[in-house]
Amino acid sequence: ALAPRCGWVLPGLEQRLAVPAMVCSASARPYAAAAKPAKKDAKRGRQEKEQEKPHPRRRPLMSKPVDDVYLTWLYRRPCYQLEQAVGMLKSFQQLDFTHPKQFVYINVFLDMALQKKKKVDPFSSSVTLPHRFTDEVNKVLVFTENEQEAEVAREHGAAIVGGVELIKWILEDEIQADFYVAVPAIMPKLIPLRNKLRRKYPTTSRNSLGSDIPKMLQFFRECHEYAVEDESIIKTRIARLDMPTEHIIANLKTIIHDICTFKPSNFDPIVKKLVIRSSTSEGLLLDLDGILPQVEKAEEKEEENAAAEDQQKPVQESVST
């Protein structure tokens, strides 16, 4: 490096000093381009070797354990009849000394698939249970501008009654209710609440829009509401554990039959798996036979009846001739 200052240059030194300046990224690209295919080939080779390796066979799950203590992941999850499962929940409560009036819950796993890529949209519904298990009364708001209708609504237990003046308070979250009921005459004025109330917006499909205010109030003040969570699961309580077994079963079947109405009967059942539990117990998997509505059997009976009628027609014709 000091040679240029001294005025003399050793032979070949100038070329050696110029070599680093001549090396650039362009000269290195061929080597990098050659390295990339080599890495890809190495990855492909590893993947092919992994595919060639036989996957370890998982031991088939056994049906019933022999001992009282066992590894649950080695056995299939037991499936119980509905009446048997409710009896087990009651026995768990006695053995664990837990509260006898605890709630009973169900977890319903749904099959939302329809034709091709279509599926059932997540939904919510309200149903009247045959046996009430709580003294709680839902808070119902009634939209009406008729003084007589407003008086009838108050007499039958409406928590809030009013007209257009309630829209502002609802939009600002100053007024909230469990359910919203309206008469047809005021509906054109409630359009600003459509996005705010969403599923609770009064509609005829949900039986929250009509002229029979006493009937709507009686239903929504005592009804049980459930909704789909996480796209395909319903978690809801259905009874108290101290209720008679037949009452718990009746409430469960009422909710399941209402859920099944949200998918056409010509597809697979919407209920894929059903688990029942109490507030302090483990979940018990239920056998769906006898719980789901018997749609297929009804269709088979209709076909049998039609075939029987076709067989009787020739006989009747021959007799008439």
- In order, the DSSP letters of 35-72 are HHHHHHHHHHHHHHHHHHSPPPPPPPPBSS-SSSS--G
CATH 3.30.190.20 segments of the chain: 79-122+232-294
Cβ-Cβ contacts under 8 Å for 122 (sequence gap 6 or more): 112, 227, 228, 231
pTM above the 0.85 mark?
no
Q: Which residues pair with 273 in a beta bridge?
A: 109
| Beta carbons within 8 Å of 180's beta carbon, 6+ residues apart | 140, 141, 143, 197, 200, 201, 202, 208
In this predicted structure, what is the pLDDT of residue 66?
74
The pLDDT of residue 21 is 47
Query: Does the domain at residues 134-222 carry the CATH identifier 1.10.3720.10?
Result: no
Other residues' Cβ atoms within 10 Å of the Cβ of residue 133? 20
pLDDT at position 28 is 47
171-230: pLDDT as tens digits: 999 999 999 999 999 999 999 999 999 999 999 989 999 999 999 999 999 999 999 999
Instruction: Round to the nearest angstrom and report the end-to-end CA distance of the chain.
Output: 128
Torsional sign, CA 148, 151, 156, 161: positive
Residue 315 has a pLDDT of: 46
Q: What is the mean pLDDT of each run of 10 residues along the chain (321 residues)?
A: 50 52 48 55 68 63 74 84 96 94 97 90 94 94 96 96 95 95 96 93 93 96 94 96 97 96 91 96 94 65 55 48 45
Does 3.30.190.20 match the CATH number of domain 79-122+232-294? yes
Residue type, 259: I
- pLDDT of the residue at 65: 75
* CATH 3.40.50.790 in the chain, residue ranges: 134-222
Dmax over Cα atoms in the chain, in whole Å? 137
pLDDT at 265: 87
Q: Comparing C-alpha atoms, which of 76, 77, 104, 74 is closest to residue 286?
A: 77
Report d(CA 287, CA 98) in Å as an integer.
26
